[in-house]
Amino acid sequence: MSAKTRMIEVRENVLKQNDIVARELRRKFHDAGVFVVSMVSSPGAGKTALLENTLTRLRQECRVAALVGDLATENDAARLARSQAPVKQIITGTVCHLEAAMIDRALEGWKLDELDFLFLENVGNMVCPSSYDLGEDLRLVLMSVTEGEDKPLKYPTIFNSADVALITKIDLATAVEFDATAANRNIQAVRPGMAILDVSVKSGAGLDEFLDFLRARRADAQTVLGARAAT
């Protein structure tokens, strides 16, 4: 029997399933009026420290919550719970990133309209999270001064998938001879126009500016959604 080979044309996004769930999440978040901020970085860049501080401070003025992803342990959720904000750990097992469906499952039973901000802390990984939309409004990429100024050049895709870059542990900049000019230049090279904020949870440097930035971005998003609803 002779088999005939032919070509079938298709056009299917491999991440279709994730993108569908992410789109649905984004709609839910917008309907509920919650502003969703995700955080990506390498392990140890300071996502949890910054998040704990942010939750503690924002909680004084509005309703905040967080989901935190890790391959194993509930350590980060326990740490973040000290902020008194609702926090849930997502244990990904062998999966090296968060996916939209994991967020969707973790939020089951949550009343999103009772929140102003929801934070999503991704698994520490500079590669895989870049491919997955989580339905967030704003994605922060963190790099600490101890990691080297060329991090953006080594991981351009993750910087490109993010909206804002945070340079963390800025209190250590002098000790590790961090070249801020080179770091900024490298971030701008891979993502021209990207907003950059310097922060240190330890010294408190840049934290007020960071919160102002989040409040402003949330206000902007609400204005856009309000205008869209009015038309």
Partner 1 sequence: MHELSIAMSIVELAQEEADRRGDIRIKAVHLRLGALSGVVKDALFSSYAMACDDTPLEGSRLVVEDVPVIIFCKQCDGQRPVHSTQMFCCADCGTPTGEIVQGKELLVVGLEVEE
Residue ranges that bind partner 1, judged by CB under 8 A:
3-17, 95-97, 127-128, 130-131, 153, 156-158, 160-161, 188-194
Residue 131 CB, nearest distance to partner 1 (Å)? Answer: 4
State the nearest-atom distance from the C-beta of 206 to partner 1, in Å: 23
Nearer to partner 1, 8 or 227 (CB): 8
What six digits make up the tokens of 50?
């910054």
- Residue 208's contacts (CB-CB under 8 Å, 6 or more residues apart) are none
- Give the whole-angstrom CA distance, residue 67 versus residue 112: 13
Give the shortest CB-4-to-partner 1 separation in angstroms.
6
Q: Smaller CB distance to partner 1: residue 1 or 227?
A: 1
- Considering the complex, state which of residue 128 and residue 180 has its C-beta at the smaller distance from partner 1: 128
Nearer to partner 1, 161 or 222 (CB): 161
Q: How far is the CB of 190 from partner 1 (least distance, A)?
A: 6
Question: Which CB, 48 or 125, lies closer to partner 1?
Answer: 125
Burial of 118 per CB tally in 10 Å (0-12, 13-18, 19+) = buried
Name 63's Cβ contacts closer than 8 Å, sequence gap at least 6. 114, 115, 116, 117
Q: How many Å apart are CA 66 and CA 85, to the nearest integer?
A: 8
- Which residue carries 């929801």 as its tokens? 118
- Which residue, chain included where needed, has tokens 């469906």? 101
Cβ pair 65, 118 in contact under 8 A: yes
Are the C-beta atoms of 190 and 156 separated by less than 8 Å? yes
- Least CB distance to partner 1 at residue 211 (A): 25
**Shortest CA distance to 96 belongs to which of 158, 162, 145?**
158
Question: Which of 23, 111 has the CB closer to partner 1?
Answer: 23
C-beta of 171: minimal distance to partner 1 in Å?
Answer: 29
What does the alpha-carbon distance between residue 136 and residue 119 come to, in Å, rounded to a whole number? 9
